[in-house]
Amino acid sequence: MPSSEFFYHCTCGGLLDIVHDFRGYDAEYLKRLFKERLSERMTPYASGVWRYKELIFPELSDEHIVTKYEGNTGLYASELIEKYTGLKRVSVKAQSENPSGSFKDNGMTVAVSHGKSLGYENFTCTSTGNTSSSLAMYASIANANSYVFVPDKDISMNKVLQTLAYGANVFSFSGTYDDGIQFLEKHSNELGLYVCNSINPFRIEGQKSIIYEIAQYLDWELPEWIIVPGGALSNATALGKGLYDLYSLGLINKIPRVAIVQAKGASPFHKMVNEEKKELTPEPFPKTRASALNIGNPPSWKKALQTLKQTDGITISVTDEEILDAKAIVDKSGIGCEPASAATIAGLRHLVSKQIIDKEESALCILTGNLLKDTDNLRYYHLENNPCTSFKNTIQYSNLTLYNISKKIIGKNT
Ligand SMILES: *Cc1c(COP(=O)(O)O)cnc(C)c1O
């Protein structure tokens, strides 16, 4: 049994938030400390999350840290992406390179470490797939059990299979992600389950590390815009919070503007902001091919609103066609991502073409999930939807024919 039960909501009904006392921290000291830790290997500080432990969860003793050296992901520029978005200075942060293949690892390492430190052995989440694969991975590393609740429709099978493979107990239910959240809010305490969804404030603390790492890699000078996809809006929340930390600690001297991109078929937050409404109206039947964004009632919308306020941020929505076209560009660039991540590239292209972002400005897109997370969409885009490909009707050639055809095609390209 856990030594103390953990609750996610305040008595006012809102989500809990973690507030640190950063007084006494000196920016130069922190920069030096974080730099020294870049040479760590087999200690928790080799992680791209725990490197910044002082800003995330300073009270946790190192023996409780459950880590897979998450973070430490690449930051890339690409000519293809520059051309596609129309921006000269654009880069991407590939959170897709995390151990379970998505940025969820940045938050999950902290949530599972916290739960273990309280004595929990049973962890849970509801998920469109990435949260569950991340949880299942960390629970197994921690010798704990995971119980995950996955909607039976509009999810990527790759993610569910990955979750099963790590050893999770998977419950499939008929309903949406939003129904799953409601179920856990009601029953998790009674079942003795530690909830690892983004209503858990420790997830948010861990996800702040994404922007810390970007800032450190760029020598504490951030681009003018950071573009992030919005589903449950935990990533957008953590981004705003992390930026505010960096600024108030004096680690950066200017806060970039944030653009949150939603998929048109699941864009309640964008609609609320766009129509200047005070409250979010949930969408009961969200529908997008970007399964990680298929959320109609994002739990963190109030916190994400804070991000917009603190960063002079904006929102935008993009169609599934725009998302898949942008994804094809990211994939072809050699970086690769899943559909939800490519919403950032599609959104940036839109914002540049509408001149909301000037061609001379700089931007960074956060790529949230791995190319192999969603092979259904790859099949759909490259094999079913694309008339140029002949892969679908592959014919067996003789060696000589194969040689002649390939010579022709390769000759054309050189
Ligand atoms: C979870 C997820 C998102 C959405 O992030 P939120 O914090 O829910 O807004 C986007 N892309 C991928 C790949 C994800 O796994």
292 lines ligand 1 (CB under 6 A): yes
Q: Which amino acid is it at 152? A: D
Instruction: Give CA separation, 78 vs 92, 330, 350, in Å.
Output: 8, 9, 18
Task: Determine the pLDDT at residue 397.
Answer: 77
Whether residue 325 is contained in a domain is answered as yes
Please tell me the distance between residue 100's alpha carbon and the centre of ligand 1 in angstroms: 13
341 lines ligand 1 (CB under 6 A): yes
262 lines ligand 1 (CB under 6 A): no
340 lines ligand 1 (CB under 6 A): yes
Whether residue 173 is contained in a domain is answered as no
SS3 for 378?
helix
Whether residue 117 is contained in a domain is answered as no
Name which of 13-22, 125-134, 265-274 the model is least confident about: 13-22
The token pair at 67 is 């880590």
pLDDT band at residue 395 using 50, 70 and 90 as cut-offs: low
Whether residue 253 is contained in a domain is answered as yes
How many folded domains does the chain comprise?
1
Task: Determine the pLDDT at residue 399.
Answer: 86
Task: Determine the pLDDT at residue 414.
Answer: 67
Q: For residue 64, is pLDDT > 80?
A: yes
Using an 8 Å Cβ cutoff, are 383 and 328 in contact? no
Would you state the torsion angle of the CA atoms of residues 156, 80, 100, 59, taken in this order, to the nearest 10 degrees?
-130
The token pair at 409 is 């095609």
- What end-to-end distance do the CA atoms of the chain give, in Å? 66
Whether residue 21 is contained in a domain is answered as yes
Q: Report which of residues 22 and 273 the model is more confident about.
A: 273
Task: Determine the pLDDT at residue 392.
Answer: 55
Host domain of residue 255: 12-103+201-414
Whether residue 196 is contained in a domain is answered as no
Whether residue 372 is contained in a domain is answered as yes
Mean pLDDT of 156-173: 96
230 lines ligand 1 (CB under 6 A): yes
Instruction: Give CA separation, 359 vs 84, 178, 223, 265, in Å.
Output: 12, 38, 13, 28
369 lines ligand 1 (CB under 6 A): yes
Q: For residue 201, is pLDDT > 90?
A: yes
Task: Determine the pLDDT at residue 409.
Answer: 85
User: Which of 132, 210, 293, 345, when mutated, tests ligand 1's pocket best, judged by the most ligand atoms within 8 Å of its CB?
Assistant: 293
Task: Determine the pLDDT at residue 162.
Answer: 97
Instruction: Give CA separation, 238 vs 147, 242, 339, 351, in Å.
Output: 25, 6, 21, 22
Task: Determine the pLDDT at residue 202.
Answer: 97
Phi, psi of 316 (to 5 degrees): -155, 155
Mean pLDDT of 242-248: 97
CA angle in degrees (0–180, nearest 5) for 233-237-238:
120
The token pair at 375 is 């092979």
Please tell me the distance between residue 189's alpha carbon and the centre of ligand 1 in angstroms: 25
pLDDT band at residue 386 using 50, 70 and 90 as cut-offs: low
Distance CA 324, CA 67 (A): 33
SS3 for 238?
helix
pLDDT band at residue 27 using 50, 70 and 90 as cut-offs: very high
Task: Determine the pLDDT at residue 153.
Answer: 87
Mean pLDDT of 197-204: 94
Please tell me the distance between residue 188's alpha carbon and the centre of ligand 1 in angstroms: 22
Whichever domain contains 320, its CATH number is 3.40.50.1100
Whether residue 168 is contained in a domain is answered as no
233 lines ligand 1 (CB under 6 A): yes
Distance CA 193, CA 123 (A): 5
